Amino acid sequence: MRIEHSGSANGDAMRHKKATYTRRQFLAQAGGIMLTMGWGMRQARGQEKARKERAASKRPNLLVLVTDDQRWDAMGCMGNPIIRTPHMDRLAEEGVIFVNNFCTTSICMSSRASIFTGMYTRRHGINRFDQPLSEEHFVITYPVLLRGAGYRTGFIGKWGLGGRLPKKAFDFFEGFGGQGRYFHEVNGKTVHLTRILTEQALEFLRGCSRDQPFCLSISFKAPHVQDNDPRQFLYDPALEELYSDVTIPTPKTADPRYFESLPEFLRDSEGRRRWQIRFSTPEKYQESVKGYYRLITGVDLALGRIWEALREMGFDGNTVILLTSDNGFFLGEHGLAGKWLMYEESIRTPLIVRDPRLPSSRRGRRRKEMTLNVDLAPTLLDLAGVPIPSAMQGRSLRPLIEGKEVRWREDWFYEHLFEHPRIPKSEGIRTSRWKYIRYVDYDPPYEELYDLANDPHEEHNVIGESDYSEVLSTLRRRWREMRESLK
Ligand SMILES: [Ca+2]
């Protein structure tokens, strides 16, 4: 069913609120009984206000920053010696960085639907750009649930899903449909989109108070390319000089022999077409990667400005900041560009969570557990003390953020179900050591197997080697099980 975002989504959010927040109703009823027992109206109101304030002060504000196509290593704190991301680095120093974070599907709309709903694509069903979430799924997105729980909610930037923009489902909505544009005329000046989103974030924060927790989701367009523009990486001209005096090394698997070893359907794929535009000469490679880095530094500056505003407004001590991206990005590895495929560059993404309430001993940690885009919605709800719907398939990261040792997932399912004539569909299983890739549209299916512990750049497909037959049969069985169980 296509959702009527304006009225009905809101109505359902209200119904959900009614169903979930029975404790609040109980307290309201208890207040009524107290009145009949002779308590003064003013006294009861005062107590209710104090209770609300206590409850509000315990619930953190949530600031959710989602970049577009930022790979995991495009940050200083992940060991990149060239890119400048001082605020992201500081976020990691003062928070927790998840160094093995992944998207379960490497394309904007499907991954964003997973971020909102905590569900895999085979459950939320979003694999087209023009497709909105069903109403059933929309009402359990984290912003709708948080609003139902009393949060003031805001959305800024690329909405990323099809259908009408859900303006009325948020208290503050400055989202845009489609891919957006990087440059806009504002008061006679050309302004970069990242700066505009920053100003909108400050506007949202100015409307917040300490009496009501907030959840602000900012969905940057950067560092996504401007599709169909030959310049591709349209950064803020103020950052033009950045990286101008460095030469960015080419990745190991950019050597043509890696591309030549790919099957024909990958050599002819969309990723190769875009590689021609971005990386096919040393000059294009330098210009493209520097443009990509400049776009990310632009987001880093936005983070710095918004963080400064949180401090100025007194929200910093009770605001959890979460930074992630919807999917990764090839910078010429395997002779490819874009994302979509299950190779590491495409599926591995940044994730940093800074919770200012953590004791200093718990900060600056690097968690190695495999975490996923579907974990974010459950995490945000858990931080806010809101029940996690059973339909969500991810898991709250709260114990990991708090430094606890818990049993964690040992493998996970990847899927790319987007229909495109030049992008093959794929599924697979990723464990901490192994990766099994299966291109599902081919008969027989084309399969790849990598031993990541000994082959982190995925240079040697060992699928046909007898030494690995036991591992392969285990991974095939997990793939078969999970493609059914995750529906
Ligand atoms: Ca994306």
Distance 94 CA to ligand 1 centre (A): 27
Distance 351 CA to ligand 1 centre (A): 15
If DSSP codes are grouped into helix, strand and coil, which group holds residue 450? strand
Query: Which pLDDT band holds residue 313 (cuts at 50, 70, 90)?
Result: very high
Domain identity same for 340 and 434: no
Distance 165 CA to ligand 1 centre (A): 18
Distance 71 CA to ligand 1 centre (A): 10
Distance 330 CA to ligand 1 centre (A): 12
Query: Which pLDDT band holds residue 368 (cuts at 50, 70, 90)?
Result: very high
- Torsion angles phi and psi, residue 103, rounded to 5: -95, 145
Check residue 41 and give its pLDDT.
57
Percent share of the chain, pLDDT over 90: 88
Nearest Cα neighbor of 70 from 114, 117, 108, 109 is: 108
Lowest mean pLDDT among 8-22, 203-217, 239-253, 323-337: 8-22
Higher-scoring residue by pLDDT: 43, 68: 68
Query: Could you report the per-residue pLDDT of 376-400, keeping only the tens digit for each?
Result: 999 999 999 999 999 999 999 999 9
Domain identity same for 290 and 318: yes
Query: Which pLDDT band holds residue 58 (cuts at 50, 70, 90)?
Result: confident
Q: Which amino acid type is present at position 407?
A: R
Distance 85 CA to ligand 1 centre (A): 19
| Residue that is last in its domain, among 410, 438, 470 | 410
Distance 29 CA to ligand 1 centre (A): 47
Distance 299 CA to ligand 1 centre (A): 15
CA 219 to chain centre: 9
Query: Could you report the per-residue pLDDT of 471-480, keeping only the tens digit for each?
Result: 999 999 999 9
Domain identity same for 441 and 397: no
Distance 326 CA to ligand 1 centre (A): 5
Domains of the chain: total:
2
Q: Is the pLDDT of residue 402 over 70?
A: yes
| Residue that is last in its domain, among 358, 383, 410 | 410
CA 17 to chain centre: 25
Residue pointed to by tokens 């890739």:
437
Segments of 71-149 assigned E as strands:
96-102
Euclidean distance between CA atoms 75 and 81, whole angstroms: 9
Euclidean distance between CA atoms 347 and 340, whole angstroms: 8
How big, in percent rounded to 5, are the helix, strand and coil portions of the chain? 40, 20, 40
Distance 116 CA to ligand 1 centre (A): 14
Q: Which domain holds residue 213?
A: 56-410
Domain identity same for 288 and 381: yes
Distance 177 CA to ligand 1 centre (A): 14
Q: Is the pLDDT of residue 415 over 80?
A: yes
Q: What is the mean pLDDT of the chain?
A: 91
Domain identity same for 224 and 286: yes
If DSSP codes are grouped into helix, strand and coil, which group holds residue 348? strand
Distance 68 CA to ligand 1 centre (A): 4
Answer yes or no: is 365 within a domain: yes
Q: Find residue 449's DSSP bridge partners.
A: 436
| Residues listed for the chain | 487
Which residues, 6+ apart, have CB-to-CB distance to 53 below 8 Å? 211
If DSSP codes are grouped into helix, strand and coil, which group holds residue 376? helix
